[in-house]
Structures are given as structure tokens and as C-alpha cells.
Chain A
Amino acid sequence: MIEEWRLLDTGFHDAFYNMALDEAIAVARSKNLVSNTLRFFRWEPSAVSIGYFQGMEEEVDTSTCDARGIDYVRRRTGGGAVYHDRDGELTYSLIVNQKHRLISKDFQETYETLCSGLVRGLRLLGVQAEFKRINDIVVEGKKISGNAQTRRMNVVHQHGTVLLRVDPSLMFAVLKVPNEKIRDKLVKSVEERVTSLNRVLRRDIGFEELKEALTKGFEETFGIRLTEGTLIKFEEQTAATLKAEKYATREWNFKR
């Protein structure tokens, strides 16, 4: 019997609900209320998320965000600041029991394993994607996907992005990009470090086509079957609570 995981497509939500729902699913998984889950989601309005350890004011131009109606939120995972464009990016989450055969004690190894599903999916589209340590997927050396992981309550939660199109000027407007980092990589602009599916494939790829390819990539690589499911009441209620009491609060978002 092939192992079944739940596939969720939760569509558009604001940043606070999106991050709350990720945590809610992890809580539900830890209580064994749901199976291992792959979730696809998008951001409306566009938003910036920052890593757990980052300073909001250090990373994000919050006044520009406010003026343009862009949300900003702190994630439960570490890593860097990301601009999530409503129309330019697909986000996924994997929520998996820590005892699962795919999960290693070693974080780096687990990144590589879980990202291999994405890599396979992108290759099915004809994109020469490769995993790059620590937590990126690149095409011809340029980043196309960033990923971040946490584990608590015996559940591994990895979420990440896949870029369909990039607007570097907007990215620069909302993020305070550290000079050091750019200098280190010996490149001048985000255009040289980041790429997108549309650019690589030289055509407009749709979100549905991408989701289908990634789903297949995960299925083949992980040896699982993804079956479309729905959120359970517990997840919806927990997400609403977590949004109101955590992710939408200034206390959480500006705590560092």
C-alpha cells in the first residue's frame, strides 16, 4: 500500500493567517488529527516575511510597506527576509511527523531530502534545478526557491517559495538588503542572484501547472500519494486563534 499524504491548496490569504495556518497544521499533526501534509498557498495582499531571528526594522522598510498595502510578518522558522508577491510566487509547506523515514536527525540532510521533491518537480517542467546548501534551490547558480525548517512537538515543518516572476525594483523597495551579503556573493543586483520560472522557461507558466509538477515531484521522490483534502475544524479554529494572538500582533512581529 502506497503511503497517503494530504494535499491542501488553501489559495489566497493574508500573511498573518498564512503563518498561523502553518502552525495550526503542525499542531494538528502533532496530535495525530491529520496525516502528513503538503500545502500550497499564496499571499493577498503581497507580504514580506522575516526569519525568526531577524529584526523587523532592520530588514523591512515598513513605511513603504504600509504605503503600498504590503503586510509584514515574522515566521516561526529562521532564515532570511522574503518578499512574497501576490502574483509572482507560490509558497508550499510540508508538515511531517518527525519519526517519518524521510526525516533525519541532521537538519542539513533533511533540507536536502525534502527539497529533492521540489527539485524533481521543477525538472519535470524542464528546469535544471539543483539543491544548494544550506536551504536554497538554484538554476544556473541563481536562486529560484528559498526554504526554511523548524521542528517542534515532534513535527517537522518546512516551508518555502518558488518564484514564477520577479520584480527586483519592488523587492528592493520593501527589503533592506544588507550590503555585506551582496558583496560576499560578488554580484551587483538581485537580478544576478535570483531567477524565476518565467525567465528560465521563456514562457508564462501558470500556478496550476507548477502545482501539478511539484505534486508529482514530491510523490515520485518521497514514494507517496498526495490526495486532495480539506482543513479540519481544529485547524481552522487554531489558525484563527494563532492569527489573533500571535502572528497579527506587534508583540510577535517586532519582538526582535
Chain B
Amino acid sequence: MGKAQYKVEGGKLIKVQLETEGTRVKKVKITGDFFLHPEELIEELEKGLEGATLYEQVLADRIEEFIKKNKAVILGGSPEDFARCIVMAGASDD
């Protein structure tokens, strides 16, 4: 299992636990002191990232799309910040 944490400058701390399958996300858990509205979307967001390739841009696009589709709001980090943290967790996985 890969783990990473990333402190967004002027924002919040994002923590990721990641299981991979090859170069893809198998399972991801995103925790931290950020804000996502409405809150219960977090599980759906995590599910929505399963199967995605572990590239920052791919992940950021998926997150961005998810936010738009659900009219969600994130405070304390951008889709790119979350994507970066997931990629970092992937890189830490042996």
C-alpha cells in the first residue's frame, strides 16, 4: 500500500492511501483537513478514481469532472493538488 501526504501552500493537508494494480488505481482513500461540499461525496469521488491511470493530469481531469458534474466545492486544495498526492502515494508503493 502506498501512502503520501501533501500540504497545499496556503491550503490544507491532503493524505492518501493507495492500492495499485499495475499503473492504475485499485483503491484510494483520501483524508485530511480540507473541505468538500457536500461532504458525503468523498466516498463517491474515491470510487470514481478506481481504474484511473496514475498520471497527474488524468487524475486531475477526473476529479475536476467529478466536481463539475456534482456541483461540488473544494476548499483548501485544487484537483491538481489531490492528483499530485495520489501520484506521490503511487510512487511510494513498492
B-binding residues in A (CB < 8 A): 51-55, 58, 76-81, 107-108, 133-135, 148-152, 178, 180-181, 183-184, 256
Q: Which residue of B lies closest to A146 (CB)?
A: B33
Residues in chain B near residue A54, CB distance under 8 A: 31-33
Residues of A close to B7: CB separation below 8 A: 178, 180-181, 183-184
Point out the residues of chain A lying under 8 angstroms from B29, CB to CB: 55, 256
Asked if B39 is an interface residue, CB under 8 A from chain A, the answer is yes
**CB-based contact B5/A180 at 8 Å:** yes
CB <8 Å contact, A178 and B5: yes
Q: How many A-B pairs with Cβ below 8 Å?
A: 70
Categorize the interface residue count of chain B: 20 to 34
CB of B11 within 8 A of chain A? Answer: yes
| Bound CA–CA A24/B65 (angstroms) | 33
Q: Mark B1-29, 1 if CB is under 8 A from A, else 0.
A: 00001110111110100000000000001
Sorted from nearest, which 5 A-B pairs have the closest CB atoms?
A: A80-B33, A78-B35, A55-B31, A184-B7, A52-B39
B27 → chain A closest CB, angstroms: 14
Q: Indicate whether A151 sits within 8 Å of B37 (C-beta atoms), given known contacts A54-B31, A184-B7.
A: yes
Chain A residues with CB under 8 A of B9: 184
Interface membership of B73, Cβ < 8 A:
yes
Q: By the criterion CB–CB under 8 Å, are A53 and B13 in contact?
A: no
A151 vs B38: C-alpha distance when bound (angstroms): 7
Whether A78 contacts B39 in the complex (CB less than 8 A), given A53-B33, A55-B31, A256-B29, comes out as yes
Is B75 part of the contact surface with A, judged by Cβ < 8 Å? yes
Residues of the B chain whose Cβ atoms lie less than 8 Å from the Cβ of A80: 12-13, 33
B38 in contact with A152 (CB, 8 Å): yes
Residues of chain B within 8 A of A181, CB atoms compared: 7, 13
17 A-B residue contacts at CB 8 Å? A53-B33, A53-B36, A54-B32, A58-B31, A76-B39, A77-B35, A78-B33, A78-B34, A78-B75, A79-B35, A80-B12, A80-B33, A135-B35, A150-B37, A178-B7, A180-B7, A184-B7
